[in-house]
Amino acid sequence: MGQLDGKIALITGASRGIGKAIAETFATEGATVVLSYRSGADEAAAVVATIEAQGGKAIAIAADVADEQQILSLFKAVDEIGPLDILVNNAGVILEKPLLETSADDFDWLMNINVRGQFLVGREALRRMNGRDGSRVINISSDLSFGGREDFSVYCASKGAINTLTKSWAREFAPHVLVNAIAPGPIDTDMLDLDNMSAEWAEMEKQLTVLKRIGTPEEISAVALFLAGSGSTYLTGQIIGPNGGSVMP
């Protein structure tokens, strides 16, 4: 018996990185997993193949989270599978650029994906979960939402917005739907891009944490599993920080 037997979970941005790890973990625990991705069809298909090879159930659906019509189509497909129990609102992008070099187009691009995207996906998930006990929404934020960071101000602002969306939704949909966020620290994914990072810069990233290391996607998926499972029934509106001690809010 898996912790998520019989559950249907939608995970956005699930073709790689943290989303991929969460999809594989949830499937291992018995959930039927819907993987949403914007690009990287081959990568998404590989995640589905891995899950199916281990006896799990998964389907991959292409959708741009910033496009309302594509999100409505995504949820129409999810509805055909069954009632949605768990959403992991993971899709997002990062922008490293000094403020004075940041254009309005840069701002709009990032906010459309990180904030508009989480809003659209969260709205449609909560439309279906409203009033159903045991439903879970897990938004993916960042440790940078707490303290900010030079050259990342727009990204930090987008994740701060996710934190307040999380708290507002938790109040609006209580007591039936539990809404929480995960705010990871530096994690070894394509977004951090360790392979193309200088040794000096990689060491600096490690030193930002008191554990002096970069986290793994699996360490984030373990937190997501806890929030999706039966051990988190008294948690809502919380921002959980698996960050190696990079921030301690």
pLDDT at 198 over 70: no
pLDDT in tens, 136-146: 999 999 999 99
- The reported pLDDT for the residue numbered 193 is 63
Number of helices (H), then strands (E), in the chain: 9, 7
Confidence at residue 79, expressed as pLDDT on a 0 to 100 scale: 97
Task: Give the CATH number, domain containing residue 76.
Answer: 3.40.50.720
Of 124, 130, 87, the C-alpha closest to 224 is 87
* Peptide bond just before 175 cis, omega within 30 deg: yes
Does the structure show a pLDDT above 90 at 242?
A: yes
26-57 as b/e: b if 16+ CB within 10 A: bbbbbbbbbbbbbebeebbeebbeebeeeebe
Tell me whether residue 30 is in a domain.
Answer: yes
Share of the chain above pLDDT 90, in %: 90
Say how far apart CA 129 and CA 176 lie, in whole Å: 8
Nearest C-alpha neighbor of 111 from the set 168, 77, 156: 156
* 87-135 pLDDT tens trace: 999 999 999 999 999 999 999 999 999 999 999 999 999 999 999 999 9
Catalytic residue among 26, 75, 146, 155: 155
Q: Is the pLDDT assigned to residue 197 strictly greater than 60?
A: no
What pLDDT sits at residue 194? Answer: 57
Rounded CA Rg of the chain:
17
The boundaries of the domain holding residue 165 are 8-240
| Percent helix, percent strand, percent coil in the chain, to nearest 5 | 50, 15, 35
Mean pLDDT of 60-82: 97
The total number of structural domains in the chain stands at 1
Mean pLDDT for the stretch of residues 29-54: 97
Q: Is residue 246 part of a domain?
A: no
pLDDT number for residue 217: 96
Share of the chain above pLDDT 70, in %: 96
β-bridge pairing 239-240 and 86-89: unpaired
Please, are residues 56 and 2 in contact by the beta-carbon 8 Å criterion? no
Q: Is residue 3 part of a domain?
A: no
For residue 234, indicate whether it is catalytic: no
CA distance 50 to 58: 9
